[in-house]
Amino acid sequence: MKAYIQVKQLGKRKCSIEKMPVDFPVAPASVQELIEAVVSWQVSEYNERLLQSEMLKYLTREEMEDKAAAGKVDFGANYNGKPAAEAEAIINALQSYEDGIFRIFLNDAELGELSSPIQLKEESTLTFIRLAMLSGRLW
């Protein structure tokens, strides 16, 4: 099943939101299954890029321009050299969702609790919004 996840493109001068395609082998039936599927996909993408970055030690012109626009040109090195742990990432994402660190919208409708059922259809759009917590006081 093909769906889209909206992601803000980092390193671009204009503030645009880009739809990123994702293929789910099995359609998730609940919010928890959706988070687990997306985190698993992202961890595998990260680990794959980690392996590729160890093989390639140069940047293309487009990559340099994007990084320069973001304010820092680097090789994206993972200095500890460890791949991401999928189980830990899933636990962290589920806890963050319960704590209200981010919200998920499916076709402009906010998803509820982790156990809430969802109706993910072909070509659906998922939007992940990270909420910034403000603390402190006014002087």
Each residue's pLDDT tens digit in the chain (139 positions)?
889 988 654 445 555 677 888 888 888 999 999 999 999 998 988 888 777 665 556 677 887 888 787 777 776 655 566 788 899 999 999 999 999 888 899 988 999 899 999 988 888 999 888 887 666 666 5
In a domain, 139, yes or no: no
In a domain, 23, yes or no: yes
Number of domains in the chain: 1
Nearest partner of 35 among 106, 84, 109, judged by Cα: 106
In a domain, 66, yes or no: yes
Residue 63 domain boundaries: 2-130
In a domain, 112, yes or no: yes
In a domain, 136, yes or no: no
Note the pLDDT of residue 65. 84
In a domain, 27, yes or no: yes
Lookup: tokens for 28: 């998730």
Look at the chain and count its residues. Answer: 139
In a domain, 81, yes or no: yes
In a domain, 34, yes or no: yes
